[in-house]
Amino acid sequence: MANGPTGTDGRTADTATGGGLDARRLMRQHLADLDRRLAEKSRQGRMQILAWNAYGTRLELLMVSTTHMHEAVARDPFLLVGSRKFSYARMRRALQLLGLRPIAIELPFTPGTDLPDAAVEAAVRRYGCTEIQYRGIAGFEIRGLSKLDPMQAAQAAAALWGRVVRARQLLTRSGLEIDLASLQSGDTLLLWSRQQGHKPDITLFALMMLVLADATLDRMAEADAKTGTETSDKTEKAADTQRAEREPVGEDGEPDQLGSGLAAAFHVGSQLEVFPPENDRPGTQPVVMGEAVRQLRQMLAVATDDQLLIGDFQAPLVEGPVRQGKIYRMVDTPRFITHAQSLLDRIEGERMGGAALNRLVTYLTGDRLIEGVFTIKRYEIDRPDGRPCGFFNAKCTLHRLNAAPVFLGLQNERIRRAPGRTTTYDSPQPQPQMLWPDDPVTEADTPA
């Protein structure tokens, strides 16, 4: 059967009116056409596509060779920040500053009309590098994973993934959605939200708390089951004692539980997204790097088993990407924790560890001043790159109905004293809002 008359843009009349192809199939065809042309211009990764704009069916690209990327960013520090769709004026300023000309592509469709801007943006980002100035990132490290055999290590990693899935489902039931992205590297799992803004970041923080709570409850159940199966046979008790004496002892004087403990850290800061290749094209799963990731990895490096560290940061109180030139209200780490607490309160009634949740309370630790009032301790160490790394130690109390509370994180006296400086953080947040009466207070928490 002959095709209908062909229009000026190369499409048949049937296709243009939606007769030959349905809208979804037509969009996939447009994306395939766009991706093929972008791949040709990238020259197997030799060129980076940093910005775009469209004029009818003409797509203009700002492209820089990969070897000159650092030099280009040095000339324009905001070149990689925000949306890759530049306005006409922004594109011309960048081209003039870098001494470049735009690269033009003629498409068989109209970007923005036949294909949404968001789809074009996603396609272009895969062929370049994008900086997100403020985004939360959570990190988990499975302690002792390198000492396990491959099968045990795989089981430990799979168990952590299962906890992430269960935590996300629990948040969904509570009306909190999060679009998760992840990066697994050895014994470390990094998580972040593809959405940008204050609410996705505090939702990610809530998810991290639930993952830690799930891990602690499972370990408590395993300990209870082990206790219940013990016999009164003296010979077996003696054998158990001998085995315990041969177990490796950690720095805190307690036996190491290889593969069962987690250290966790959270930070909000700048990230760079790049897309590693899959076959001969950039993939769809980004890899994150940059200041926030370096800070997170440094915190995990000094953390001990079951410790929860939160970076010292300032984050804008805004939903969606940060816009250049606009002033935002900023919140510090203690205030961020308070906002996250409001989300954690929404999961009341959900079941974890065989009991319904009453409340999940998170706070930063410090010295006790008077009954019910604590300071906040801030820790700072020097990173290998010479920059300071400031963070806080956090604790979380999981309250359940008709069950004993569960404590997550470490008390001050159990924190490993890493080389660095310890100060009292001056925060405008009232301290009683960060406390919970059931949390045990030891003599080590009392200032001298």
Same domain for 400 and 340, yes or no, is: yes
Asked, for residue 1, whether it belongs to a domain, the answer is no
Residue 8 lies in a domain: no
Tell me the residue range of the domain where 298 lies: 133-225+258-445
- The pLDDT of residue 7 is 45
Looking at residue 239, what is its pLDDT?
A: 43
3 state DSSP class of 104:
strand
Record the tokens describing residue 208, joined without a space: 């991290």
Tell me if 206 is assigned to some domain.
yes
* Mean local confidence (pLDDT), 2-9: 44
Give the model's pLDDT for residue 380.
Answer: 87
Asked if residue 169 and residue 45 are part of one domain, the reply reads no
| Among 104, 128, 152, residue at a domain's last position | 128
Q: Would you state the pLDDT for residue 417?
A: 58
Quote the pTM value: 0.78
pLDDT band per the 50, 70, 90 thresholds, residue 415: low
> How many CB atoms within 10 Å of residue 184?
11
User: Based on the domain organization, do 87 and 186 belong to the same domain?
Assistant: no
Q: Do both 22 and 167 map to the same domain?
A: no
Looking at residue 372, what is its pLDDT? Answer: 64
Q: What is the dihedral of CA 17, 20, 25, 30, to 10 degrees?
A: -60
Instruction: Specify the higher pLDDT residue, 343 or 137.
Output: 137
pLDDT, position 374: 75
Residues 106 and 140 in one domain: no
Does residue 262 belong to any structural domain of this protein? yes
Q: Is residue 240 part of a domain?
A: no
* pLDDT tens profile 286-332: 888 888 999 999 999 888 888 899 999 988 888 877 777 677 788 89
181 in helix, strand or coil?
strand
Number of structural domains (the chain) is: 2
- Provide the pLDDT for residue 353: 66
pLDDT of residue 136: 93
Chosen domain end from 88, 107, 128: 128
More confident residue, 256 or 131: 131
The mean pLDDT value for 401-419 works out to 72
At position 350, the amino acid (one-letter code) is E
Name the pLDDT band for 250 (thresholds 50, 70, 90): very low
Q: Does the residue 41 lie in any domain?
A: yes
* Same domain flag for 114 and 138: no
125-143: b (≥16 Cβ within 10 Å) or e = bbbbbbbbbbbbbbbbbbb
Do residues 24 and 150 both lie within one domain? no
pLDDT at residue 412 tops 70: no
Q: pLDDT by residue (tens digit) across 25-82? A: 888 898 999 999 999 998 888 999 999 999 989 999 999 998 998 999 999 888 898 8
Percentage of residues of the chain with pLDDT beyond 70: 79
On whether both 168 and 87 belong to a single domain, the answer is no
Q: Taking residues 240-268, report their average pLDDT.
A: 52
- pLDDT at residue 429 is higher than 50: no
Q: Kindly state whether residue 217 falls inside one of the protein's structural domains.
A: yes
288 and 199 belong to one structural domain: yes
Cα–Cα separations (whole angstroms), residue 6 to 12, 14, 17, 85, 109: 4, 9, 12, 31, 13
Q: Is residue 159 located within the same domain as residue 27? A: no
User: Is 354 within a domain?
Assistant: yes
Say yes or no: 105 and 184 in one domain.
no
The last residue of a domain, from among 128, 147, 166: 128
pLDDT tens by residue, 87-131: 999 999 999 999 999 999 999 988 888 889 999 999 999 999 998
Q: Are residues 276 and 183 in the same domain?
A: yes
Residue 205's domain is classified under what CATH number? 3.30.70.1230
Under the banding of pLDDT at 50, 70 and 90, the label for residue 281 is confident
Q: What is the CA radius of gyration of the chain?
A: 26
Report residue 418's pLDDT band, with 50, 70 and 90 as the boundaries.
low
Average confidence score pLDDT of the chain: 78
